[in-house]
Structures are given as C-alpha cells and as structure tokens.
Amino acid sequence: MRLAGMRLRQRDGVSCGPAVAVVARAMLEPAHRLAGTGPADLAWFAAEQARVHGRVNLLWPRALGTTPMGMVAAIGAGYHWRLWRGLWRRRDPLDDVLAAVRAGKPVPMLVGRVIPRHWVLIVDVERDELRCYEPSSGDVRRVTAADVRSARLTGLGYPWAFAFVLPPRGLPKG
C-alpha cells in the first residue's frame, strides 16, 4: 500500500489513534484496503475513524485519545503492546519493532513529551531509517532508529516514544 501522496488525515484533534488503526488494518487485510483519495474514499476514512474510536473507547474518554490497549483492540490480528524501554536508560534496541516492519507488518508508535500524546504508524524501514505515517498531516515522514532510541524525534509532533503495538512473532509476511 502506497501511503505517500494519499493525504489520509485524522478527522479531528483526538483521532490520531483511530486513523493509525484504520491505515494499519488496511495494510494488513485486503478487505480493508484504501482505494484512493477521492471524496467518497476520504468520507469513508473519516467515518471509519469515528467507528473505530467509538468501538475501542467504550470506557476511556474519547477526548483523551486512544490507549495502547485500545490500539491493540482496533488492529486485532494478535497484536500486543509494550512500553518503550529507554525513558531513563535509553537502551531500547528496537529489534522487535524493526523486525516486524521489515516483515511487512505496520507498527503503531505512541509518542509524546512527558506524557503520551500522539499515535504514528511505522510503515517501512530501510537500514536504520523508519518511515512513519503521521496522521495529523497525512504525510509519511522519516526518522532514524537512533532518534527513537535517544528521544529526539522530529517531524512527528513529539520527541519521545512511549509505546509500540507489535504483531505476534513468526507471522508470514503480509
């Protein structure tokens, strides 16, 4: 799925998680593929974000966004979440994240500053460079794994990773 140029944007200020979940599902499941960027496609994308947001935030207030558990529920497919292991020690090797993306599985990443605030989706990796779908702009932006490890992210809205939502190990390439 080619995201660059599609300009798939989150529908409001708290829909980054649902936008990321919809794009991740489209990458994982042929039945959820995004057709294009025409008015009907963009209307479907906005409606699907609202549907996902309502489904995964039954107890959590929507105004506070989507929790890692909510992201897991939205994507399904055996995904699970884990914390970034570098806040104090900056020692997260990201091996599981890089392996998943190299295997064709998108990885949602929760970023923020002091508190988690925004979801982005790691959609590709080449060497040590991650390509991330950033839903507030609809762009695909590049960061390095070193930037993630050292909490110096730029272009994604916030500098620190807080959590990753990962597929189960050993799945065939999607």
- Domains of the chain (ranges, CATH numbers): 16-166 (3.90.70.10)
Report pLDDT digits (tens) over 88-112: 656 788 999 999 999 999 999 999 9
pLDDT, tens digit, 9 for 90 and up, residues 20-56? 999 999 999 877 666 666 788 888 889 999 999 988 8
Per DSSP (E only), the strands in the chain are 80-83, 107-113, 115-126, 129-134, 139-144, 160-166
What is the rounded CA–CA span in Å between residue 51 and residue 62?
12
- Reduce the DSSP state of residue 112 to 3 states and report it: strand
The first and second tokens of residue 33, run together, are 């593929």
121/22 Cα distance (integer angstroms) = 10
Give the predicted TM-score (pTM) of the model: 0.91
